[in-house]
Structure 1
């Protein structure tokens, strides 16, 4: 697979032998991913740094995708008798691992050769950051971005930055949130945060994790030249799946209820409700329309535990509200021009 030209950072790290990949466990949650899982594992086998552990947890797939693991050395497969969901399966895998770093990788995210090397090199240079994301390119058109981190709006939605935009060289830098399809985090920080919220099952669990991390002073960094090819559609047919709509919009509202400081909370509550109703009104088919409406109804009906957990979450907050305000996206005119990424993604590996 083609990479991207060597950068100044690459020139500094070329030939270095102090990048220790044995400090990493790569976790893949698989659910009916078909041949994509094999492509992801081949991408890992071709990495420029080796010695990392690979742990695949299969969520009771009904296809033969998990059997692909037998063709690869140093890949541990755990089969679950039930579909645990993306959040819970990742939590179980992280608990089982013992390395300093955890890398979460979707089976439909194929890493380019120097992906892990670049993540680890950036982590060495920036020890004050806890979570590292990477550039996602469209698997079917690597001249377009699939995402360069997540934009989190003060109005109750989130989307992938630069989604489907033409590929260009972009700088690495701080972001508020990174996509869970391919991210690296210190294991101790993941555990201290409580991992993914298993009540979400799947979708928005990465936004929620990064939101909590930021509020606790654990920052996220986007590594621009660490690239994966991301398919985003391994588990359903083309189009926005009602499953994705439902879980995405339900879970985003729970994310804001859990995490947004009280002074700012009315904005995302009103914004999320308004945008969800607008999406339902504009939906092209009845299944999608029902999914939006169910998401909003069930999010409010099931919000009690999230309201009650706000005090416990606030006890860990160290980020001043003034700094949070500067990190959120505020321009409402940007939202229609950028697809909120929770509706752009289809049903992921690990979903029901």
Structure 2
């Protein structure tokens, strides 16, 4: 579990892990990484949950880096990730571990995640658009509106949500864990995709249940920062995991669509610089143009994706050389 200035939620979750989860306490190592909160969180966590192994990061490593730091302290055969603003059901651990014991080709278990009250869906399946945008099917829909075969049927999926998932520890380390360059968002999509390409299965197990205050950890953060990370990390995930043939077709279109989303989100007039629309007063050409933060976020995401390109080819080489499957058929 990673904490960043969310001690109240984290304490609630840590206590639930110890008091509500049906699993032998001596076989459940609970690790909490405080991501250099700087607000007294570490002290509060140490006092409220003295039986939890608290790891203090030297700086804010993001969700990806914080999880990887926690795994370096893990001693078990399976590592589980749980958001600090989530609460586990009684069988959350036991159901997931049972799948990993029974099915040796399963590398990771994706938990079922509902909202805090259990009324709407947070995660029951993961999809991927052809231009690289990962999404959670049925997210936000009332539980009663989702068919039982989608809600309660175990099945293979492309990825699990990092808010509640289990991975074989040795396998997680072998893959290098979450990609820390992402900071947060899409690290779970990327991990699931890499597992699938190597022939491992990611199994959705509905009995492994959690409840989540969606994006509770993002409270007070401007939406533009979220859009920026989503766009940049989606492009990086495409670049790393698509085959050569598919990447050549998809990446140019994905970049173009990211620009289109920027103009649409920012309500920009994309034709304003057409030569036929020169103003009568030429001085107006020098006037500043207003650009919303949401539009700017997507433009900067492309710029920073390009900034990531020098080291990304090595990651791509590793992923592609380990490929035993084509792009998963559940990509859309």
Query: TM-score, with normalisation over the residues of structure 2?
Result: 0.84
C-alpha root-mean-square deviation of aligned residues, in Å? 2.0
1:73 deviates by 4.8
1:69 deviates by 4.1
The answer to whether structure 1 residue 260 and structure 2 residue 228 are counterparts is no
Partner in structure 2 of residue 311 of structure 1 = 317
- From 319, 327, 331, the counterpart of 1:328: 331
1:325 deviates by 4.7
Per-residue displacement from partner, 1:58-115 (whole Å, max 9, x unpaired)? 0111334431343235311111231122222211221221210000111012111221
Partner in structure 1 of residue 205 of structure 2 = 223
Per-residue displacement from partner, 1:128-153 (whole Å, max 9, x unpaired)? 201001111112x4210011132122
Partner in structure 2 of residue 25 of structure 1 = none
Contact 1:242 1:288 in 2 (8 A): yes
Give ranges in structure 2 of 5+ residues lacking alignment: 267-290
- From 86, 94, 97, the counterpart of 1:117: 94
Per-residue displacement from partner, 1:278-321 (whole Å, max 9, x unpaired)? 322232681111111111221123323213442232221111x2
Hey, what's the Cα distance between the residues in 1 that align with 2:168 and 2:8? 29
Of the structure 1 ranges 162-171 and 185-194, higher mean CA displacement relative to structure 2 is found in 162-171
- From 127, 148, 157, the counterpart of 2:104: 127
Contact 1:29 1:56 in 2 (8 A): yes
Contact 1:203 1:247 in 2 (8 A): yes
Contact 2:162 2:188 in 1 (8 A): yes
Contact 2:108 2:168 in 1 (8 A): yes
- From 132, 152, 175, the counterpart of 1:156: 132
Partner in structure 1 of residue 119 of structure 2 = 143
- From 151, 167, 182, the counterpart of 1:200: 182
**Counterparts of 1:75-114 in structure 2 under 5 Å?**
75-114=52-91
Would the alpha carbon gap of residues 267 and 158 (structure 1) be closer, same or farther in structure 2, given more than 3 Å must change? farther
Count, aligned residues = 298
SS at match of 2:72: helix
The answer to whether structure 1 residue 211 and structure 2 residue 193 are counterparts is yes
Hey, what's the Cα distance between the residues in 1 that align with 2:314 and 2:75? 33
Hey, what's the Cα distance between the residues in 1 that align with 2:118 and 2:10? 19
Give ranges in structure 1 of 5+ residues lacking alignment: 1-27, 330-352
Contact 1:37 1:108 in 2 (8 A): yes
Would the alpha carbon gap of residues 314 and 75 (structure 1) be closer, same or farther in structure 2, given more than 3 Å must change? same
SS at match of 1:232: coil
Would the alpha carbon gap of residues 172 and 76 (structure 1) be closer, same or farther in structure 2, given more than 3 Å must change? same
Q: Which of structure 1's runs of 4+ aligned residues deviate more than 6 A?
A: none
**Counterparts of 1:5-84 in structure 2 under 5 Å?**
28-45=1-18, 46-51=20-25, 52-66=28-42, 67-84=44-61
SS at match of 1:265: helix
SS at match of 1:53: coil
Would the alpha carbon gap of residues 143 and 38 (structure 1) be closer, same or farther in structure 2, given more than 3 Å must change? same
SS at match of 2:319: helix
Contact 1:129 1:221 in 2 (8 A): yes
Of the structure 1 ranges 253-262 and 31-40, higher mean CA displacement relative to structure 2 is found in 31-40
Contact 2:107 2:202 in 1 (8 A): yes
Of the structure 1 ranges 296-305 and 143-152, higher mean CA displacement relative to structure 2 is found in 296-305
